[in-house]
Structure 1
Amino acid sequence: MENRTGLALRILFVGIGATLFMDIWAVAADSLFGIPQSNFSVVGRWMGHMLDGQFTHESIRRAAPIAGESAIGWTAHYIIGVIFVAAFVMIFGTRQLQKPSLILTILFGVAMIVFPFFVMQPALGAGIMASNRPNPDFARLKSLMTHFSFGLGMYVAFWIQTKVFKPVETPVSSAS
């Protein structure tokens, strides 16, 4: 079986790759359809305030700015992508590193929508499933598209890593 460092590097590669794919998707959606990109400065602001013990906000946009909030937000965005990929590999196994499943990666990406819907959006003041936003259905659809693109990006990044890294060694089964 592959060593832990090799596995961690693959997960890091796929997590960054999937998140980058999602960001490129967002730029394309903005350019082609005028769908605004996410502002990760608010994520950095939220995290900065968490360090001071404040998890929820009436409106994160009205909360006091945090030094370096944009860098904090973008870094958190990519770390979260890596964590999601690590969770995916823990749930579905290292076989995904050899032969990724398009259906599983997309379904997993879409399933991760529970975090913005039920954790981030309420904590930032947008309400559960963006219910406090001026156009909640648009916000929900944007979240769905974003997480779909992350799942698709996972598949693409898993596929690319099969070409970049040596093949994963599989354990020999002792069962007959």
Structure 2
Amino acid sequence: MFEFIYLAILIGMGGTALLDLWALLLKTALGLPTPPWHLVGRWFAGMPTGRFVHGSGIGNSPPIARELAIGWFMHYAVGVLFAAALLFIWGVQWAHAPTFLPALIVGLVTIGAGWFILQPGMGVGVACNKAPKPNVARLQNVAGHVVFAIGMYGTALLIG
């Protein structure tokens, strides 16, 4: 059990860190905004009070204390959770002899968490259909999750 938790933490954080580097590259090279982790923190912080949906947009909800820190923490916690799912399905032995396909499958399947849970909850609609440029947002989501998969795979190669 300790090995499972240890590997999930390392692989999830590695994948998430590469995703963050990708976001910085997109900001530097293309001027794209980085993800609004403070708003993600606001969304997660509303859950204990029963607020799961911000229909008029999370930006219209009042700010909460430490929302940026909560957003960053949850960003990495979710990455670890997704890595744990990978290890649960393919076993910890995957981390000792990783192949790319399982990481890619998890990366692509987890797009659904954003499209069908996070984005509707934040008031952006299913699969960003209320975003100013929904198809651009969707493409960024897919690319980001592929980068996350590459990061999980690469981390497993490094530690395996």
TM-score, scaled relative to structure 2: 0.96
* Alignment map for 1:23-172 (pairs within 5 Å): 23-58=20-55, 59-162=57-160
Letter in 2 for 1:39: P
For 1:11, which of 8, 11, 14 is the aligned residue? 8
Distance 1:46 1:11 in 2: 24
Cα contact 2:19–2:151 (8 A) shared by 1:
yes
The number of equivalent residue pairs is 159
Distance 2:105 2:28 in 1: 26
Structure 1: tracts of 5 or more residues without a match: 163-176
Cα contact 2:4–2:84 (8 A) shared by 1:
no
Structure 2: tracts of 5 or more residues without a match: none
Please state how far the C-alpha of 1:95 moved relative to its aligned partner: 2.1
Please state how far the C-alpha of 1:10 moved relative to its aligned partner: 1.6
Distance 1:150 1:96 in 2: 17
TM-score, scaled relative to structure 1: 0.87
Distance 2:7 2:91 in 1: 13
Identity of matched residues, %: 33
Q: Which has the higher helix share?
A: 2
Distance 2:32 2:98 in 1: 30
SS in 2 for 1:42: helix
Task: Give the CA RMSD over aligned residues.
Answer: 1.0
Please state how far the C-alpha of 1:113 moved relative to its aligned partner: 0.1
Give per-residue Cα distances to partners, 1:5-55, cap 9 Å, x unaligned: 133112111111111011011111111122221111111101111121111
Regions of 4+ moved over 2 Å: none
Please state how far the C-alpha of 1:145 moved relative to its aligned partner: 1.0
